[in-house]
Each structure stands twice: as structure tokens, then as C-alpha cells.
Structure 1
Amino acid sequence: MISFTTFILTLLALFSLSLSAPTRRDVFVPPIMYPQAGVVWMAGHHHNVTWKTDDAPVQITNGIGRVYLATNSIIDLDHPLATGFDILDGRVAIQVPSVATGQNYSVVLFGDSGNYSPQFTIIGQ
């Protein structure tokens, strides 16, 4: 039969082991709310890219956000629209770049993952 002291020491060992376990972090994939499908942006203008944060997990794997422009699902990683913001802010201001007209664009929000917005249009000034 296990002695009371052995039992207590085993419980304490298990408890201390659980405290040293790494904190579980979750991937956060917030839906982009703006821009919406069919929106038209004008090059040079400023807009807020917005996303939902109400379902954010307590521990996010990567909370530093970045926003890029994509054409035909190809992300322009060389020219970020915004970087270094808190993914829990729910919005970031960007300046619309001058790009080729007549194409469909999306913004891509990175933190933990890449979320594409619905497609929209950019026109010149």
C-alpha cells in the first residue's frame, strides 16, 4: 500500500510538472470586414482595413499584424500596406497604392495566418 507521504509527493510532482508545461497558443483567423466585395478604392486615398476580433483566443500564436495587397491570389510581399500593429486592434489605416487598373484585388491580413478579403477594385486618381 502506498504511504500517505508518497501519495502527497506524487501529487506535488504532477502539479509542478503541469506548471512547467508550455502555455497553449492558438491560431487566430479573424474574418476581414472591410474592404467588402465590389468596393472601389482610389489610388492615393486612405482606408481602414477592418476585421473581427470578438472570437480571439486568449493566447494568440502571433499577435503582430501585417497587411498586403494581392492580385489573383498572389500576394505582393515586397510592398506591405501596413506592418507591426496589434492583431487585436481590429483595424489598421493604409494608403491605397497606385496599381494597374482593371484587375481584382484583395487585402491579406497576416498574424497567425493569411486571411484574404473579398475581391475589390482599385482605380487611378
Structure 2
Amino acid sequence: MRIGELSARTGASPRSLRYYEQQGLLTSERQPNGYREYAPNAVAMVETIRSLLDIGLPTALVKDVLPCTVGERSESACPGLLEQIAALRDDVRLRAERLTTIEASLTTYLRANA
């Protein structure tokens, strides 16, 4: 499938898809006319990439995590990532707790001054 179809099927812009390629997260084959041709599993790959980026993983870590979520899932490829992912999860949890505290303070202030 070409970049326009992949973009339409995933909601990722062509610019994002090219960026994923530059970062080594996604691959395509160049056709003689210069068009990118993506494999049938590219939709699942892009959806996984976007999900991993949405939860806050940097692209360098997404590149390491991707084989564990789509594809090889070999035991040797993935265990070293568990610490990094746990640390990111813990950081997200702390930020969520801080935001919850701020939200409660703002709500209290608004109720007191309404």
C-alpha cells in the first residue's frame, strides 16, 4: 500500500509516516517511480507506534519495544526493556497524581469563589 492509503487507514499524516521511517520505526520499499510501498502489516505497526508514542515513550525506546509488541517477541529482545518501561510508567503515575492534586485545588478554589 502507498503512503496515502496508509495515512488514510491509520490517521497518521504522511509527514508522520516519513518521520517514523527516518527514526527506523517503519520501513517501506521504494518503487521505480519513487513511491513508497508499505507491507500489509504496516497498519498494525503504525497503530502500535502511535500508541507507544501516546503513552510517552520516546522514539528511541519505541524502536526497541516495537519488536516485542509486533513481530519477533523473542525473550532475548524484550526483558532489558522492562526496567525502562517500568520507570516511564512510574513517572506517568507521579505526573498523574500531581495533576489530580492540582485539579482538586482548582476545583476547591472555584467552588469557594463561585
TM-score (norm 1): 0.21
Structure with higher Rg: it is 1
Relative to its length, the structure with more helix (as a share) is 2
Q: Which has the higher contact order (CA 8 A, sep 6+)?
A: 1
TM-score (norm 2): 0.23
Relative to its length, the structure with more strand (as a share) is 1
